[in-house]
Amino acid sequence: MSGLLIRDAEADGRRCSVRVRGGRIEELGPALGRAPGEEEIDAAGGVLLPGLTDHHLHLFALAAAVASVRCGPPEVRDRAALRAALHRAAPDRHGWIRGVGYDERVAGALDAAGLDALRADVPVRAQHRSGALWMLNSRAAERVGLRHGRHPGIERDAAGQPTGRVWRADDWLRERLPEPVPPSLAAVGRRLAGYGVTAVTDATPGLTGAAVDLLAEEARSGRLPQRLLLLGAPLGTPPTGRPAPGPWKIVLADSGLPDLALLTEEIDAAHRLGRPVAVHTVTAVSLALLLAALEQTGVLPGDRVEHAAVVPAEALPVVRRLGLRVVTQPGFLADRGDVFLDGTPPGERSGLYRCASFLRDGIPLALSSDAPYGPLDPWSVIRAATTRRVPGGRTANPAERLTAAQALTSYLSPPHSPGAPPPRLGPGLAADLVLLAVPLAKALARPASDLVRLTLVRGRIQYGVGVN
């Protein structure tokens, strides 16, 4: 195929044809003729958009989730269903069972004894839906040496014995678990392409050089066709051939907040190397700490707040004055918003997963998934941003609703500039494009992934419905 002609598409508000060649848009016009060797697709009036960007997800965790046992809603809703799921699961080649997505509504706060009651014959580790906690049964705890472990995230009872619950200790656990098979991201890449996603930002903090090399190989091989930005890429000049580093990821975990001096030192270190920072903050306390640190260090263009799960009204003008961007996930409201509403003090609920406030205050806003911890489908996140309805039927602060156009636009911003205006379709633009089956007005009236008809990355078809 020497190129691609997309005929009769809606592009920037007009019906036209679009020629793609050499990985870029070559021309747009009302009546372009088909060139020899060119593939032709009739858009039938469907809208052609810049490809979507998921500005915050976790690729390896997504791949691992595919081979793991679901331990929470909607697949598992009670203790009996969890027991059945764990007993149906076949242990991996090392004899382990890995669970994901656990929710306390299923069987309470699980510890080693609780997991033993569900399955005790093989080592089991289950991850909390937040990604911050692993729960190990007794066999798993013994295998990793939990009793003698020294990580601060190892939870212990009043007698000093480990409970089987381990907080934010992924690196510590990884060193003690059997060597995993490097995951393929092919299934993840195909699924993202089916949603119209052409670029992703991996938000996993503290990636090792080996992990970056694995991601680079997945991208080079085409198994992950999306353009790739890494928040956790090591500080310093990246070796040739590695994916582009994004802002430096810093996690402000409320279970162990750093003191102000340590945080400012880390931000300064990243800024001195020309890296903005992307800071995980999910409470008003952690956000206040971040803003205090940035008042001292100053900001670098591209500094951003990840999640911004609770933002008090008085913090909004500070975020604006500092020029920060916000990457948030209203998909959590539709996925398990009842838990967030009930777990947030009444006085803070107006600040829960704000969206419209940021735009009203001129703060660049991008939506994202945080998958696998939140729903991956961007169209479901767009719907969640417009309705803000939680599973139980309540609405989480309707004043924070976005229009469908605002929500979609936030997904169309480029990877390096979340919240920036989308690129306009025109000659020379990289052909990272998504074609929907309907005009834009109809897509905004019913945003859904089944409208995605064609996805191009670098001018190559990565997903197509009715395309030869």
Return the structure tokens found at 123: 């080592």
pLDDT for position 389: 97
Q: What average pLDDT score do residues 86-107 get?
A: 92
First to last CA, the chain: 12
CB 249 within 8 A of CB 275: no
Domain with residues 248-423, CATH architecture: Alpha-Beta Barrel (3.20)
Q: How sure is the predictor about 447, in pLDDT bands with cuts at 50, 70 and 90?
A: very high
pLDDT tens readout for residues 311-366:
999 999 999 999 999 999 999 999 988 988 998 888 899 999 999 999 999 999 99
- Find how far residue 82's CA is from the centre of its chain: 26
Segments making up each domain of the chain, as ranges = 68-176, 248-423
pLDDT of residue 240: 75
Q: pTM score, two decimals? A: 0.88
Q: What is the mean pLDDT of residues 91-100?
A: 91
What pLDDT does residue 93 have?
86
* CA-to-CA dists, residue 374 to 116, 337, 369, 451, 460, angstroms: 28, 11, 5, 21, 28
Rounded distance between C-alpha atoms, residue 220 and residue 216, angstroms:
6
Q: Where are the beta strands (DSSP E) in 320-451?
A: 325-328, 365-367, 433-436
Fold of 68-176: Diaminopimelate Epimerase; Chain A, domain 1 (3.10.310)
Whether 68-176 and 248-423 share one fold: the answer is no
233-244, pLDDT tens digit by residue?
999 877 777 888
Please check the confidence at residue 466 and state whether its pLDDT lies above 60: yes
The pLDDT of 248-265, averaged and rounded, is 93
**E strand spans, 255-357:** 277-281, 304-307, 325-328
215-238 exposure pattern, b = at least 16 Cβ within 10 A, e = fewer: bbebbeeeebbbbbbbbbbbeeeb
Residues 6+ apart with CB under 8 A from 169: 134, 151, 153, 154
Q: Give pLDDT tens digits for 133-187.
A: 999 999 999 999 999 999 999 999 999 999 999 999 988 998 899 877 778 899 9
Q: At what angle do helices 186-194 and 59-66 cross, to 10 degrees?
A: 100
pLDDT band per the 50, 70, 90 thresholds, residue 1: low
